[in-house]
Amino acid sequence: MTNTNKGQNVCGLKPEDFQTSINGKETELYILRNQQGNEVAITNYGGALVAIMVPDRDGKLANVIQGHDNIQDVIHSPEPYLSTLIGRYGNRIARGKFQLHGKEYQLPINNGPNSLHGGKKGFNAKVWDALQMNENTVVLNYISAYGEEGFSGEVKVTVIYTFTDNNELVIDYMAKTNKKTVINLTSHGFFSLTGIANPTPTIENLQCEINADYYLPIDEVSIPTGEIRLVENTPFDFRKPKPIGQDIEADHEQIRHGAGYDHCFVLNKKEEGELSFAARIVEPTTGRTMEVFTTEPGVQLYTDNWADGYKGQNGATFPRRSGICFEAQHFPDTPNHPYFPSVILNPDEQYKQKTIYKFGVQA
């Protein structure tokens, strides 16, 4: 079920531009709309978010997520994870190796010496089965075959996108496996609260708050060292709001390792798995705000350190540091750090997580 009347799509995207067939599976554009007339547009190729139309303090709608305006550009994007779903394993696994039930697994190497975001063809590059339930909700399903990208077990994944009348984009994830495996799903939204443009403005003026007393330091190839370090007296202290750009070029080993921020923050939780506040950003010129809530133990802050001004939807361009990502997830390289919160999924269990991106305005 798609909305074929482009006159009603405030995002300006055309369903026919997102229709193709890949290995016998059809791609489509799905429009979610709430009672305020705001919109979220999603394609079932990689579950990519291609528009989030929300108002500024004057009521003016703009698209606040980076994406493309046709299916070929989504498939061939210079940023393959641009606002897509990520799996089976979000973030990095050192040398693509880990042990599970006494066996060593080897994943594809696609990021320096490491495996990133599920390997060379992760969930971001799959056509998901999609069903739009109503104006607010689309359900995506994907079956990841046994051995896909080197992972054990056949995994059945469901992701539900819901856009509420409170301007919350709710992402519910569920998964089952037929054999013990590891799983770490996330959404890699590249948010630009000013609204995308040519060029899309820098994120460095965003006021950012992250509900974390600790973060995970990384080595020179972006793998966690295993230490869990206090944010206090470091560029990683966002416990009180401060501009993203304030310390992004700090003379600090960790900033150098990430070429900016590309680090997992250990979220403050009263209990494991609770849905709680993770982060908030405020864009001062438009007044737009975004709050992040998640059941996950961590959130990866990524400040778009490698973009080069490539083209996006409706003539927008995306220079370096024009997007910000809050990837709610378990920690990077967890299979190689036994004391990190477990990412093992057994056949008698269900993987579940919920992450909410709530949009608003500040006067």
Contact in structure between 245 and 201 (CB atoms under 8 Å)? no
Q: Where does the chain have alpha helices with state H? A: 71-75, 253-258
Calpha distance 323→331 (Å, rounded): 22
- Amino acid present at 31: I
Bridge partners, residue 55, by sequence: 61
Q: Point out which residues pair with 63 in neighbouring strands.
A: 53
Catalytic residue among 149, 283, 327, 330: 327
Q: How many Cα neighbours within 13 Å face the side chain of 192?
A: 31
- CA–CA separation, 264 and 272 (whole Å): 17
Q: Does residue 26 carry a catalytic annotation?
A: no
Q: Which of 279, 275, 303 is nearest to 291 (CA)?
A: 279
293: tokens are 């809530």
Do strands 288-294 and 325-329 pair parallel, antiparallel, or not at all (unpaired)? unpaired
Is 303 within 8 Å of 321 (Cβ atoms)? yes
Bridge partners (DSSP) of residue 65 are 191
Tell me the sheet residues that pair with 212: 267
Annotated catalytic residue 188 = yes
* Spatial contact of 278 and 295, defined as CB atoms under 8 Å apart: no
| 84, two tokens | 């897509």
Catalytic residue of the set 188, 257, 263, 330: 188
β-bridge partners, 104:
99
Contact 322, 202 (CB under 8 A): yes
Q: Which residues are catalytic?
A: 188, 327
